Amino acid sequence: MNTTTAASYATAAEPSAPLVLDGVTLTYPDGDGRLTALDRVSLGVPAGTVTAVVGPSGSGKSSLLAVAATLVPPDRGRVLVGGTETGALSRAERALLRRREIGIVFQQPNLLPSLTAAEQLEVMAHLDGRRARTVRGRVRELLAGVGLADLAHRRPHQLSGGQRQRVNIARALMNEPSVLLVDEPTSALDHERGAAVLDLLVRLVRERGTATVLVTHDRAHLAAADAVLEMADGRLATATRA
Ligand code: ADP
Ligand code: MG
């Protein structure tokens, strides 16, 4: 299997990539001291590519996504989304940037129990003030894209775990983000269903040119990735896929 050198994904090589982390350090309070969750992490994710991140529990993978999502400001270093230095933005500007440019898929779908699959997606677009007709067309297209065209009227309890995670992915893509951040999306699914959800995710982001970071515990997912990085104690390094 190929390995990808970290250098080819470093900031210098891709200054205009949709997502760039440059020397990011993040610490949390820990008793009398600080725990270093991210230690000088640099990463650039080109449009339409998938960067997989693997590593043991507690190594900083979710922290990496939280910083990339601009949900948590780092202690040091820069996070650039579409070339915009997010550290310079106000809270409100960051919230707007998230809504427009960043899709997030967490481990658990967190769908609203009372809404149908179509409505889960519509809510995202209404938050962004789009026109109703455009929104309906896009909802149909995305649900078809994740193989749920016929289940648009179902509520979460009427869907399987895999189907709920497909709705979750479609919802994250609703506002056409340039960056997609995905945290162990198949951990609640069996291997076969997980692989199907992953294939679909990779196809969608390539078609749409979405720069994607995929945190995964399943090494079977790594074959589809353009780069594979490994977190260990907050440090990000190039990994082998074997
Ligand atoms: P992973 O996703 O790889 O399991 P995390 O990013 O969740 O790792 O956690 C990295 C380290 O930071 C762990 O030691 C974890 O306990 C710690 N951590 C994560 N979130 C917080 C938080 N909100 N406050 C304090 N420590 C945290
Ligand atoms: Mg995690």
| Smallest-distance ligand from the CA of 183 | 2
Residue 7 has pLDDT above 60, yes or no: no
Question: Both tokens of residue 140?
Answer: 């149909």
Give residues with Cβ within 8 angstroms of 62, minimum separation 6. 183, 215
Distance of CA 234 from the midpoint of ligand 1 (Å): 10
| pLDDT over 80 at 228, yes or no | yes
Residue 140 has pLDDT above 80, yes or no: yes
One-letter identity of residue 112: L
Least confident of 167-171, 172-176, 184-188: 184-188
pLDDT at 103: 96
- Residue 187 pLDDT: 83
**pLDDT category, 112, cuts 50, 70, 90?**
very high
pLDDT higher than 60, residue 5: no
| 34-58 residue pLDDT tens | 999 999 999 999 999 999 999 999 9
Q: How far is CA 3 from CA 7, 83, 181, 230, in A?
A: 12, 27, 22, 12
Mutation to probe ligand 1, out of 61, 63, 233 (largest number of atoms < 8 A from CB): 63
pLDDT level of residue 12 (50, 70, 90 thresholds): very low
Contacts of 72 (CB under 8 A, 6+ apart): 26, 63, 66
Q: Domains of the chain by range and CATH? A: 6-109+178-238 (3.40.50.300)
How long a stretch of residues is the chain?
242
Q: In the structure, what pLDDT confidence band is assigned to residue 221 with cuts at 50, 70 and 90?
A: confident
Answer yes or no: is the C-beta of 138 below 6 A from any ligand 1 atom: no
Q: Is 220 in the pocket of ligand 1 (CB under 6 A)?
A: no
Task: Report residue 42: phi and psi, to 5°.
Answer: -125, 140
Distance between Cα 64 and ligand 1 center (Å): 10
Q: Please tell me the predicted confidence (pLDDT) of residue 128.
A: 67
Ligand found nearest the CA of 38: 1
Question: How far away, in angstroms, is 34 Cα from ligand 2 center?
Answer: 19
Calculate mean pLDDT across residues 155-179. 94
Mean pLDDT lowest for which of 21-35, 67-81, 187-201, 219-233?
A: 187-201
Tokens 């951990």 locate to: 187
Instruction: Supply the DSSP string of the chain, one letter for each residue.
Output: -----GGGGSTTT-TT-SEEEEEEEEEEEETTEEEEEEEEEEEEE-TT-EEEEE--TTSSHHHHHHHHTTSS--SEEEEEETTEEGGGS-HHHHHHHHHHHEEEE-SS----TTS-HHHHHHHHHHHTT--HHHHHHHHHHHHHHTT-GGGTT--GGGS-HHHHHHHHHHHHTTT--SEEEEE-TTTTS-HHHHHHHHHHHHHHHHHHT-EEEEE-S-GGGGGG-SEEEEEETTEEEE----
Query: In ligand 1, which atom is closest to the CA atom of 55?
Result: 3
Beta bridge partners of 235: 232
